[in-house]
Structure 1
Amino acid sequence: MCGRYASTLPPEMMVELFKLLKSIDIVPRYNIAPTQPVAAIWEAQGRREGHFARWGLVPGWVKDPREFPLLINARAETMAEKPAFRDTLKHGRCIIPASGYYEWHTNPDKSKQPYYITMSDDRPMALAGLYATWMGPNGEEIDSVATITVPANPQLSEIHDRMPVILEGAAVDDWLNVRDVRAAEAGQLALPLADGVLKFHPVSTRVNSARDDDPGLIERAEIAKPQPRVKKVAGGGGQLDLF
């Protein structure tokens, strides 16, 4: 799954890269977590605009968002059938700009090592997403999003078995074009990137805490090597024996 990411794109770069009509007021973020507001892009009446939305999809038919489970990811294999995602795949496709994302590898001792994953040439990512607008009984509105995941390619499977859908080139335009590109066609765009398009490195476990949000989180960290266990040999005068 994709549960944390960074977005450090300047507003003017977002306008140019993603063909926005106007910029949105964003600041660099290095540890964006579920339930937080995120910048997302979608089209309405043929106009492409940036919006802020809650990360954690709330379909429009939900009665009380507080009692609905947190949906931060949608599996590409099942999103066309799941009630929570079926309509948004038809009418609510979006992209979520990112500089990179984090994934946690489970070590043999069950500890988890975070990695920061970026494009191999450091260009920005366009994460495929779905959005919905929930309207409450008193007129309140909540825009919300979920990212889409697929099975990891062989390179990324070293870290985790899933990865986000990252769109490139014309696929971005087709994904956002809900007027002319049907859900079935859009679903075919949800594919893992080829090996070699991404790169990754280990980072500090400080990223585990959503309270930490600074440039140091994306810097390479050294992974501590496990130390061999030792025991004293009986009657050995304090000698240590490796085993």
Structure 2
Amino acid sequence: MCGRFALTATPEDVAESLGLLETEGFPPRFNIAPTQPILVVIAGDRQQPGSNLPERRALLVRWGFTPSWVKDPRDFPLLINARAETAIGKASFKAAMRHRRILIPASGFYEWHRPPKESGEPSQAYWIRPKNGGIVAFAGLMETWSSADGSEVDTGAILTTRANTRIADIHERMPVVIKPEDFARWLDCKSQEPRDVADLMAPASDDYFEAIAVSDKVNKVANTGADLQIPVSVATRPASKLKEPPADRQLSLF
């Protein structure tokens, strides 16, 4: 899963990386948590100048997906992640998979290695970022929930897939990463059906991310400083929980 991430790049870098014409200023955020606003990128209604591709625009949504048919969000679980393998068939996500796919820019994400309770070992937090730096784009889904009084809330979730060999040392799941050359295809919900983009929802290559052990300060939402990403020493690296790659690497979407 992905329960915390960070976006510390400048608005200008985000705009350039995601192909945005413009984006409003925002401060660096080192500890983005569920229910908080997150920056997402969607395909706009107008075409880019000199291109047949739609413009991309950024907006803020609440991290915690709420399907449109939910009557009271207080009675519905907080959906911060959607499993790529099953999202197309889930009542909560299937409409968004078809009509409202988004990109979620990030500088990286946090994950926790949690040893078996009987081991007596504490959990260890890791800051996981692109090895070559820069901005990563997570695959996401968006839905606008409307209340009985007519007010609307834009909400979103991050799609996750099975971890690659590197991340499996820490956790069995990881966010789906969309490569820049695939941004347009992922965001194109008019001509690209879910089955047409299923190949994009695969684990990132084993050498894409690096994992840095950090302190447990990230556990607390109130901690938001850059010191959350300062490396700490750990006695041993966790052993990989990934036994052997499955024989069939295709996604079981259908």
Same fold by TM-score greater than 0.5: yes
Distance in 1, Cα, partners of 2:215 & 2:24: 30
Aligned residue among 161, 168, 172 for 1:157: 168
Distance in 2, Cα, partners of 1:27 & 1:151: 31
- Between structure 1 and structure 2, the one with the greater Rg is 1
| 1:188 match: secondary structure | helix
Q: What residue is the counterpart of 1:235 in the other structure?
A: none
Map of 1:1-243 to 2, 5 A cutoff? Answer: 1-45=1-45, 46-107=54-115, 108-223=119-234
Cα deviation, residue 44, structure 1: 3.2
Identity between Structure 1 and Structure 2 (%): 39
Q: Is the 8 A contact 1:125 1:166 kept in 2?
A: yes
Deviation readout 1:83-113 (Å, 9 max, x if unpaired): 0000000011001100010000013325210
Q: Is the 8 A contact 1:24 1:51 kept in 2?
A: no
Q: What residue is the counterpart of 2:49 in the other structure?
A: none
Cα deviation, residue 16, structure 1: 1.4
> How has the CA–CA distance of structure 1 residues 43 and 31 changed in structure 2, closer, same or farther, with 3 Å as cutoff?
same
Instruction: Tell me how large the CA RMSD over aligned residues is.
Output: 1.3
| 2:93 match: secondary structure | helix
Cα deviation, residue 8, structure 1: 0.7
Q: Is the 8 A contact 1:42 1:176 kept in 2?
A: yes
Counterpart of 2:22 in structure 1: which amino acid? K
What TM-score, normalized by structure 2, do the two folds share?
0.85
What TM-score, normalized by structure 1, do the two folds share?
0.89
Aligned residues: 225
Q: What residue is the counterpart of 1:239 in the other structure?
A: none
Deviation readout 1:51-99 (Å, 9 max, x if unpaired): 1100000111111112111000000110000000000000110011000
Distance in 1, Cα, partners of 2:107 & 2:24: 17
Gaps of 5+ in 2: 46-53, 237-254
